[in-house]
């Protein structure tokens, strides 16, 4: 393809970056060009991005212009978005979620004690993603967390009873104490 004039290239970049439609007036302000020149640039782009030519189209929507994917590509897009994402949980998130899943309801200070580092950002993300939720307050006033029905769905579990038996990963299975107590002890040993 041939080289485009600078204004056409700039308008193209702005349309690409913006998730909302842009009016010729907004484009003129941003490019510091006249509105007539912007309309001419949009005409060049409309031809480039005419339906059927490429995977992206230029569309006029509610008085503004926007780039959008061609509807023909929707099946592939659906497969792309529905693929199980490789790195869904960070180690901090996995640890925080595991603590909530096995010990619920559990307060944030306790999670922090077990992890040895603050769990604030991890628990905020998990709340955000609907994997955990608040479950009242402890006797000391700290917010308690539990997992959500959404958590069970995403992990393919019918109920919490189906959580994997941790014996397989237990480094010292001979220990008799309760899981909560053992996790707290190990966490405090790590933090000290």
Partner 1 sequence: MTAVALANLELDLDVFSGPFDLLLTLVLREEVDLLELQLAEVVLAYLDHLEQRGELDLETATEFIVLVAALLELKSRLMLSSEEQELLDIEPEQAAEELLARMLDARRFRAAAAHLGELLDAEHGVRFRIAPPPPNLRRAIVHAADGSHDPQVLGEAIGRMLLMPPAISVRHISTLRITVAERLSHLRELLRRGSFSFDEAVRGADRMTVAVTLFALLELYKRGEAEWEQQESFGEIAIHGRAHEAPAEVLAG
Instruction: Give the angle 139-144-146 at the CA atoms, nearest 5°.
Output: 140
Task: Name the segment binding partner 1 (CB under 8 A); options: 4-12, 22-30, 33-41, 159-167.
Answer: 159-167
Count Cα neighbours of 163 within 13 Å in the Cβ-side half-sphere.
Answer: 15
DSSP percent split of the chain into helix, strand, coil, nearest 5: 55, 15, 35
**Residue choice 12, 45, 49, 115 for contact with partner 1 (CB under 8 A):** 115
**Distance in angstroms (rounded) separating the CA atoms of residues 41 and 30:** 14
**Distance in angstroms (rounded) separating the CA atoms of residues 102 and 25:** 56
Partner from its own copies, partner 1, none binding residue 129, C-beta < 5-8 Å depending on class: none
Count Cα neighbours of 123 within 13 Å in the Cβ-side half-sphere.
Answer: 23
Task: List binders of partner 1 among 51-110 (CB under 8 A).
Answer: 59, 66-74, 77-78, 81-82, 84-86, 88-92, 94-95, 97-99, 101-102
Partner from partner 1, its own copies, none binding residue 161, C-beta < 5-8 Å depending on class: none
Q: Cis omega before residue 105 (within 30°)?
A: yes
Partner from partner 1, its own copies, none binding residue 89, C-beta < 5-8 Å depending on class: partner 1
Instruction: Tell me how far, at minimum, the Cβ of 129 lies from its own copies, in Å.
Output: 12
User: Do 31 and 17 touch, CB atoms closer than 8 A?
Assistant: no
**φ and ψ at 135, to 5 degrees?**
-140, 60
Partner from its own copies, partner 1, none binding residue 9, C-beta < 5-8 Å depending on class: its own copies
Report the interface residues with its own copies, using CB under 8 A: 1-4, 6, 8-14, 16-18, 22, 26, 29-32, 47-48, 52-56, 67, 69-70, 72-73, 76-77, 79-81, 83, 90-92, 116-117, 121, 127, 133-137, 141, 143, 189-190
């Amino acid at each position: 393809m041939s080289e485009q004039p600078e204004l056409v290239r700039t308008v193209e970049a702005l349309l690409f970056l913006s998730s909302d439609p842009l009016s010729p007036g907004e484009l003129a302000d941003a490019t510091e060009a006249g509105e007539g020149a912007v309309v001419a640039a949009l005409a060049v782009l409309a031809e480039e991005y005419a339906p059927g030519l490429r995977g992206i189209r230029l569309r006029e929507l509610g008085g503004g212009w926007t780039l959008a994917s061609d509807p023909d590509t929707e099946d592939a897009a659906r497969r792309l978005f529905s693929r199980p994402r490789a790195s869904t949980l960070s180690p901090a998130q996995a640890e925080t979620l595991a603590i909530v899943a096995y010990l619920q309801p559990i307060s944030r200070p306790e999670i922090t004690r077990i992890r040895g580092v603050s769990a604030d950002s991890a628990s905020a993300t998990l709340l955000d993603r609907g994997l955990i939720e608040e479950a009242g307050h402890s006797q000391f006033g700290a917010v308690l967390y539990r997992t959500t029905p959404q958590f069970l769905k995403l992990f393919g579990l019918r109920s919490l009873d189906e959580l994997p038996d941790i014996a397989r990963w237990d480094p010292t299975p001979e220990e008799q104490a309760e899981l909560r107590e053992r996790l707290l002890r190990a966490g405090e040993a790590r933090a000290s």
